[in-house]
Amino acid sequence: MSSAAPGGLLAALQQEDVARLANRLAARVSQDADRLPNMRLAAVAAVLRVVDTGPELLFIKRADRDGDPWSGHMAFPGGRLEPGDASLEMTAVRETAEELSLDLTQGVMLGRLDDLAPRSPSLPPIVIRPFIALVPADVTFVPNVEVAATYWVPLAMLRHPDTQAEHVMTINGARARFPGFRVDRYIVWGLTERIVSQLLPLFDP
């Protein structure tokens, strides 16, 4: 991953919110999750760009697929560590390229957040490491069959109280409520909501 800032990325790195985020990511010590013997490792990329109105965060809507526990969810690009991956960072880079044809090596990796694991026993035993990347504002995508849609969401919108929402579902006959963020007509919840909730405070003045 390039540590330099080509072209328009220099201005993006100097944008107030992004500069604050980059400094805080560089200063913090991220927490690694405890790994049980049967746990798989995975990584996702929370991708940022800067436009005239400020930073935006990229979400994907996963395609509906049989056998995928996150089928149809709002998410970040990413997936499981494969034998050829030199690191979890490279897992995030590879998966983003496969899912969106987006080359994160042409951007800047700002850092990582704390590892996360699903809280539901019905989900696979997996540890997910979130990475934060900054890309040029004019990047384009060619989503593969795993991605139904892409959304650039303004940071200011995610931080606004009106965007906060709940995801309600029935588990073992009981209604369960999960915090979330409203993006378009969908709710970002679960592991992705937990990543966003880690990320947003790092932008605070």
Predicted TM-score of the model (pTM): 0.90
Please state the rounded mean pLDDT for residues 151-163. 96
Between vectors from CA 140 to CA 136 and to CA 142, what angle results, nearest 5°? 145
Task: Look over the chain and give the mean of its residue pLDDT values, rounded to a whole number.
Answer: 91
The more confidently predicted of residues 48 and 178 is 48
Q: What is the dihedral of CA 102, 129, 153, 139, to 10 degrees?
A: -10
In this model, does residue 169 exceed pLDDT 80?
A: no
* CA–CA dist 124, 142 (Å, integer): 28
The more confidently predicted of residues 68 and 134 is 134
Q: What is the domain partition of the chain in residue ranges?
A: 9-30+38-159+191-203
Q: Are 92 and 45 in contact (CB under 8 A)?
A: yes
Please state the rounded mean pLDDT for residues 148-176. 89
Q: Which among 94, 105, 110 has a CA at the least distance from the CA of 18?
A: 110
In this model, does residue 2 exceed pLDDT 50?
A: no
The residue whose two tokens read 């995975």 is 42
User: Which three-class secondary structure state does DSSP give residue 27?
Assistant: helix
Query: Bridge partners of 129?
Result: 43
The residue whose two tokens read 């049980």 is 36
Q: Burial letters for 176-194: b for 16+ Cβ neighbours within 10 Å, e otherwise?
A: eeebbbbbeebbbbbbbbb
In this model, does residue 163 exceed pLDDT 50?
A: yes
What topology does CATH give the domain 9-30+38-159+191-203?
Nucleoside Triphosphate Pyrophosphohydrolase (3.90.79)
Query: Bridge partners of 131?
Result: 45, 112
Please state the rounded mean pLDDT for residues 67-72. 71
78-96 pLDDT tens trace? 999 999 999 999 999 999 9
pLDDT in the model for residue 124: 73
The residue whose two tokens read 């996360």 is 116
Structure tokens at 113: 């957040």
Share of the chain above pLDDT 70, in %: 92
Share of the chain above pLDDT 90, in %: 76
